[in-house]
Amino acid sequence: NLNRDQLLEFVKPHLKKSRYEHTIRVTDTALELARKYGADLARTEKAAILHDFAKNKSKDELKQWILKDQRLPKDLLYYHHELWHGPVGALMLEKEIQLKDKEVQSAIACHTSGKKDMSTLDKVVFLADYIEPGRKFSGVEEVRELAEQDLDKACLQALINTIQFLMKNKSSVYPNTFHAYNQLV
């Protein structure tokens, strides 16, 4: 069981410098949200540090994992490859660092898309990834303000912004993103 510094040391060589710095900001933001909304702090820290573990893996390596591991939904292949690093990373970490904690794996897996029935931990990591201080998305300030009051309202607004952004660009939207939205709206 690795501590914070050991986890950071582990992910560092897998990430580009800017991505590593994003990871540290997500971790600090997630811990603040976890204290406020009552998520397990150790799990929050672990999930946040590891959330983008697979972000810089090749599209082909991620695709092979989706094809080979029965637990991964095949429909991922029909949607944008940006969605793959969460679900695949959560499983890659089983081999890499013997990660077995299902709650941590869930938060890593759904951090990009969201899903139905998100736990408080899932929401904390999802939201921290969206509002960390380095993010400049239009509308992020409104979500940061909501995050001070209400975890669900903040997640809902982040989902609305993302869905609107994807639609404006005529991008596909992964069904789990709508499932998360429908449940919170």
Q: Which residues bind ligand DGI (CB under 6 A)?
A: 22, 52, 55, 79-80, 82-83, 111-113, 129, 162, 166, 171, 173-174, 177
- Selected from 43, 44, 52, 106, the binder of Fe ion by CB under 5 A is 52
Nearest by Cα to 96 from 5, 4, 7, 185: 7
Sign of CA dihedral 167, 169, 175, 181: negative
- Contacts of residue 180, defined as CB under 8 A and 6 or more positions apart, other chains included, come to 110, 113, 114, 115, 116, 118, 155, 159
**H/E stretch holding 62:** helix 59-68
Taking the complex as a whole, the smallest distance from the CB of residue 74 to Fe ion amounts, in Å, to 21
Minimum CB separation of residue 3 from ligand DGI in Å reads 23
d(CA 90, CA 18) in angstroms, rounded, equals 21
Site for Fe ion in 112-141 (CB under 5 A): 129
Nearer to ligand DGI, 42 or 175 (CB): 175
Question: Which residue number, 6 or 164, has a Cβ lying nearer to ligand DGI?
Answer: 164
| Residue placing its CB nearer to Fe ion in the complex, 10 or 70 | 10
